[in-house]
């Protein structure tokens, strides 16, 4: 077996302990004689799995009782549709545009309502987070939408927007469980699992009770109604059973290492190692505003597309994979999610240093 250092932005690295446990339980989950993949989602044994996953997630994020936790399908992208379909009442919502993922959400929401972009960092290739303290939020906006961490550009919202009393909705896919999050400040948080939590296909939705409405367009497909999923505890139909099981294992892993505060500290250390190296390097430079830097997705370049390509190629040959930046940005991106050990980042920095000496 040869595990490499995988810096993929998603689907991404998972904790080795979690994968080992899942492997051990593959053929016979806790004496059931079957794999979790093979069991009824209505069985007692599976009910325990999903209930524990929810409970552990609630513990980790201190989710208040007036919030529901849903495990749904369709990835984070389906939430771009479900949010406007379920939350628009006045038909208006205000969006903060910080990158590809918000652009997609805006485009989708425009099918359902009057969507205003209240601020955008598109003028500088989404390389910074705009000032969110005094946005022109409309009086009758149903919600304000943002993306906590921009996976592609490597920016992070550090101070939540002043929504002027409106409901805050966030796509937290790529920073979910990487640092503390005050759930009570949000109306809806959603996160695709494949960044920091589990396998692709599962999306976690945390929604405040009063936002789960019945009075929405009756033509809304039943699978896209939050109220139906809440009433059925994510089991209106067959949920992504195996994905939820793995998410549950990742939650337990996080609890074991000390919870969100502990992983946050480690994440800060990891990100600092990499950013500090980049900042003193004569070859590499960071591509985003220092105050907006993500702890999860570290974007950098050399200034030469050929050298970037060579770096990615040599890195891969040396066991550091998936460092190529998103096709829309070029350059490099090291995604250092929760499961990336600090040794992986140290090794990457050493490799970058050696590369710089060799080609500088």
Catalytic residues: 101, 171, 195
**Given the rule CB under 6 A, which of 20-28, 51-59, 170-178, 241-249 is the region that contacts ligand PLP?**
170-178
Closest to ligand PLP by CB, 56 or 171: 171
Closest to ligand PLP by CB, 108 or 283: 108
Kind of pairing between the strands at 114-120 and 92-97: parallel
Q: What are phi and psi of 104, to 5 degrees?
A: -65, -40
Nearest distance in Å: CB 357, ligand PLP = 34
Q: Residue 143 pairs with which residues in a beta bridge?
A: 167
Contact between 243 and ligand PLP (CB under 6 A)? Answer: no
Q: Which of 173, 178, 294, 335 binds ligand PLP (CB under 6 A)?
A: 173
Kind of pairing between the strands at 297-301 and 332-335: antiparallel
Q: How far apart are CA 77 and CA 67, in angstroms?
A: 21
**Can you tell me whether residue 90 is helix, strand or coil?**
coil
Nearest distance in Å: CB 191, ligand PLP = 8
Contact between 75 and ligand PLP (CB under 6 A)? Answer: yes
Nearest distance in Å: CB 170, ligand PLP = 9
Joined together, the tokens standing for residue 268 give 């800060």
Q: How far apart are CA 88 and CA 94, in angstroms?
A: 11
Q: How far apart are CA 118 and CA 95, in angstroms?
A: 6
Contact between 77 and ligand PLP (CB under 6 A)? Answer: yes
Element (H, E) at 343: helix 342-359
Contact between 10 and ligand PLP (CB under 6 A)? Answer: yes
Q: How far apart are CA 34 and CA 352, in angstroms?
A: 45
Nearest distance in Å: CB 21, ligand PLP = 24
Q: Which of 174, 178, 196, 329 binds ligand PLP (CB under 6 A)?
A: 174
Q: How far apart are CA 86 and CA 220, in angstroms?
A: 9
Contact between 76 and ligand PLP (CB under 6 A)? Answer: yes
Residues of this chain that bind ligand PLP (CB under 6 A): 10, 75-77, 101, 147, 151, 171, 173-174, 192, 195
């Amino acid at each position: 077996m040869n595990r490499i250092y995988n810096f993929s932005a998603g689907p991404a690295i998972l904790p080795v302990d979690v994968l080992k446990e899942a492997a051990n339980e593959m053929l016979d989950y806790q004496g059931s004689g079957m794999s979790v993949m093979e069991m009824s989602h209505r069985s007692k044994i599976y009910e325990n799995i999903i209930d524990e996953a929810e409970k552990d997630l609630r513990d980790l994020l201190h989710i208040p009782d007036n919030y529901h936790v849903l495990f749904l399908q369709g990835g984070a992208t389906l939430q771009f549709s479900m949010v406007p379909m379920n939350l628009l009442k006045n038909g208006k919502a205000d969006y903060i545009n910080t990158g590809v993922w918000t652009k997609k959400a805006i485009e989708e929401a425009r099918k359902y309502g009057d969507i205003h972009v209240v601020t955008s960092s598109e003028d500088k290739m989404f390389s910074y987070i705009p000032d969110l303290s005094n946005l022109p939020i409309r009086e009758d906006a149903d919600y304000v939408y943002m993306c906590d961490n921009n996976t592609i550009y490597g920016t992070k919202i550090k101070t939540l927007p002043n929504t002027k009393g409106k409901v805050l909705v966030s796509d937290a896919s790529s920073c979910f469980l990487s640092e503390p999050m005050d759930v009570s400040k949000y109306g809806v948080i959603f996160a695709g699992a494949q960044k920091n939590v589990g396998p692709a296909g599962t999306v976690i939705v945390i929604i405040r009770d009063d936002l789960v409405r019945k009075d929405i367009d009756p033509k809304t497909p039943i699978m896209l109604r939050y109220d139906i999923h809440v009433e059925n505890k994510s089991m209106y139909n067959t949920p992504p059973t195996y994905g939820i099981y793995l998410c549950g294992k990742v939650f337990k892993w996080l609890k074991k290492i000390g919870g969100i505060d502990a992983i946050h500290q480690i994440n800060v250390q990891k990100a600092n190692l990499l950013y500090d190296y980049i900042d003193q390097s004569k070859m590499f430079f960071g591509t985003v505003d220092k105050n907006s830097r993500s702890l999860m997705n570290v974007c950098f370049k050399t200034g030469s597309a050929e050298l970037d390509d060579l770096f990615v190629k040599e890195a891969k040959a040396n066991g550091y994979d998936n460092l190529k930046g998103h096709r829309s940005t070029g350059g490099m991106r090291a995604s250092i999610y929760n499961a990336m050990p600090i040794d992986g980042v140290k090794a990457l920095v050493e490799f970058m240093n050696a590369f710089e000496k060799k080609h500088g």
